[in-house]
Amino acid sequence: MKNANRRKKGAAPPEAPMLEVADLSTTFTSDRGFVRAVNNVTFTVQRGKTLGIVGESGSGKSVLSRSIMGLTPNNATRTGSVKFEGRELLATGANEMRHMWGAQMAMVFQDPMTALNPVMRIGRQITESLLHHTDIGKGAANETALALLQSVGIPEAERRLRQYPHELSGGMRQRVMIAIALACGPKLLFADEPTTALDVTVQAQILDLLQDQQRERFMAMILVTHDLGVVAGRADDIAVMYAGRIVEKAPTRTLFREMRHPYSEALLESIPKLEAPNHTRLAAIGGRPPDLVNLPPGCKFAPRCPNVQEKCLKEEPPLIEHGTPGHEYACYFPVGSREGAEARARNVAASRNVPGTVAAGGGIA
């Protein structure tokens, strides 16, 4: 049929993204100069979906989350566009944003010991947001706080409401942070390294809890982490960040099946393997992230990249879609390609002092 691929007349249009970020940049003014912590980032998140943002410390992923929510300090300048349900947030004043924090979007911070008020009881910290954003009375707010603690799996919830943060374990404090974030039923939840400093068993419990709550409430969620393993089974899409920029973005299954950027590959290889023999040395990414005040020309990952060639040092590759729909990456010599394999082979040869080849770092051996 001629019109088989066209939307039927009268059919509902595709649902618009809940969050639309376009060319978002965040620059800080410092004594050393301008720090470009987020650099032209673009992505969308649909209602009920989870986006995983992955990268090393300093890659810009936490600043990105705070930039979207408007939680940046006075020395920060944001440009680009951030639309939440069609509303432009960069043009929204601080007073208006305060009405959205907690009620429309919320954040689970990575360190609950510093995020929670140490001199305020747990119950009051949960009801504070409820009393501010809703019309319920104090009694109903206390009942809701109790139900929230029970929903996030805290035992003896009624007693915990009367306790202070220092009386709880790290895992319970993180559950309290989740309860506070979910109190007013936000539509968008940011989870910024929610398992930092927790042991492996508790990490899995917290991540499962976030996933269950996200599905139950049909929220959109942005899960920020340095560990690709954390988002592997919990995110619908993954964006890999390096030096403030997204260098690879794809649906989760596509990313793990067709990983293309050498930085994504390096992050994956740095995850400890269960099948590896005891005392196996962990793989590390050589070198250091670039100085965000004095960014080098070309690809920012080039000095650490096993596939680097001279072109990489001069021209920054654009983030564009290649092959599989929805799979974007910024690399001239991607993993899994003939060009990438040849570039890596030349660098290996150069490291063995074979004349006339390009060494990692771009120099001629």
For helices 170-182 and 200-217, the axis angle rounded to 10 degrees is 10
Residue 12: pLDDT band (50, 70, 90) is very low
d(CA 259, CA 243): 19
- For residue 217, the model assigns a pLDDT of 87
How many CB atoms within 10 Å of residue 348? 14
- For residue 353, the model assigns a pLDDT of 67
List pLDDT tens digits, range 234-287: 999 999 999 999 999 999 999 999 999 999 999 998 887 777 788 788 788 888
Provide the Cα torsion 298, 300, 304, 309; round to 10°.
-20
**Report field, pTM of the whole predicted structure over 0.75:** yes
User: Are 160 and 172 a contacting pair, CB within 8 Å?
Assistant: yes
- For residue 365, the model assigns a pLDDT of 39
Residue 205: pLDDT band (50, 70, 90) is confident
The per-residue b/e assignment along 29-65, b for 16 or more CB within 10 angstroms, e otherwise, is eeeeeebbbbbebbbbbbebbbbbbbbbebbbbbbbb
Please state the rounded mean pLDDT for residues 81-100.
92
SS3 content of the chain, % helix, strand, coil (to 5): 35, 20, 45
With a pLDDT cut of 90, the percent of the chain lying above it is 60
Q: Can you tell me whether residue 30 is helix, strand or coil?
A: strand
Question: What are the structural domains of the chain?
Answer: 14-104+186-261 (3.40.50.300), 114-185 (no CATH), 296-365 (no CATH)
The set of residues, in sequence order, having a beta carbon less than 8 Å from that of 133 and lying 6+ positions away, is 99, 102, 103, 184
